[in-house]
Structure 1
Amino acid sequence: MNICLYGSGSTKIDNIFTDEAYKLGCEMAKKGHTLIFGGGDTGMMGACAHGVQDNGGKSIGIAPEWINDFEPLCEKCSEFIYVNSMDERKRKFVEHSDAFIISPGGIGTLDEFFEIITLKKLKQANQPIIVFNIDNFYDKMLEMIDEMAQKGFLYKQEEIFKIANTIDEIFEYLEVRM
């Protein structure tokens, strides 16, 4: 299975997050899954990619070359797909991925998350989407989404994405979907 990870590339992230991302990458490799990601070598993306690579797994980075001006790109990817824009990057994520994991991140991660759940709601994508809620990172956002659903502004999240607090929960859900 090709699993796309959305997550921060920041170097300022607490180890509680990057340690879990590394462990996630280790498990992905051990289970024979391929990591699809934004190609960053730092933060959540880099930690997950290093976990995959350290365990003999495969990773495919997707990014415009100019992103290297903002964060270093992972040089040890099994494959790297260069694109011209962030929109093209997101399209390639959808084309190459069988599932999505949204790990802690910033504005870019939220942009990717809201785009993929919108595409799923509009039946333009059907892949499983899992919010990896490490250390309750996404609790406030999930509360807001719940309130939006309660007030009739959108479908309940359970119909569009799942929430996982542990790596085991991620793979339990994905294995049912395989």
Structure 2
Amino acid sequence: MNICLYGSGSRKINKIYTDEAYKLGCKIAQNGHTLIFGGGDTGMMGFCAKGVHDNDGNSIGIAPGWIGNFEPLCKDCSDFIYVDTMDERKNKFTELSDAFIISPGGIGTLDEFFEIITLKKLKKQNKPIIVFNIDNYFNKMFEMIDEMAEKGFLYNQEEDLFKIANTIDEIFDYLG
């Protein structure tokens, strides 16, 4: 299975998050899956990729070449796909991935998350989406989504657009 990880590339992330990202990468490799990610060598992406590589797993980084001006790119990927734009990157994620894990991140991660659940809502993809809620990172976002539903901005809220996992074991329980 090709598992896409969305997550921050920041170097300022607390160890509680990066340790979990590393363990997630280990588990992805140990289960014979391939990591698809934004190609960053730092933050959630970098630590997950390091866990994959330390366990002889495969990874595919996808990024525009110019993003290296903002963050270092992972040199240990099994394959690296260079694209021209962030939209092309997200399209490649969707095309190549069988499931999506959203880990803690910033604006880019939220952009990727909301795009992939929108595509699922619009029936343009039907792949599993799991929010990895390390240390309750996403709780305020879940509250916001609930409030949007309560105020009538969302409909068919009973749809199962994404799952919430607080542990790596829960992620793999959802993935089967």
Place the TM-score, normalised by the shorter chain, in its bin: over 0.9
Give the SS at the match of 2:40. Answer: coil
Q: CA deviation at 1:27?
A: 0.3
Aligned length: 175
> CA separation in 2, counterparts of 1:111 and 1:149?
19
> CA separation in 2, counterparts of 1:110 and 1:86?
14
Q: CA deviation at 1:149?
A: 1.8
Instruction: Map 1:69-148 to 2 at 5 A.
Output: 69-148=69-148
> CA separation in 1, counterparts of 2:158 and 2:52?
29
1:127-154 per-residue CA deviation (whole Å, 9 max, x = no partner) reads 1000000000000000111121223322
Gaps of 5+ in 2: none
Between the aligned residues of both structures, percent identity stands at 78
Give the SS at the match of 1:62. Answer: strand
Q: Which residue identity does 2:137 align to in structure 1?
A: F
Give the SS at the match of 2:153. Answer: coil
Gaps of 5+ in 1: none
> CA separation in 2, counterparts of 1:126 and 1:167?
22
1:2 aligns with 2:2: yes
Q: Report the TM-score, using the length of structure 1 for normalisation.
A: 0.96
Give the SS at the match of 1:81. Answer: strand
Q: Report runs of 4+ in structure 1 exceeding 2 Å deviation.
A: 155-158
Q: Which residue identity does 1:48 align to in structure 2?
A: C
Aligned to 2:173: 172
> CA separation in 2, counterparts of 1:156 and 1:131?
17
Q: Residues 70 and 82 of structure 1: is their aligned pair in 2 closer, same or farther, counting only changes over 3 Å? A: same
Give the SS at the match of 1:126. Answer: coil
Q: Which residue identity does 1:74 align to in structure 2?
A: C
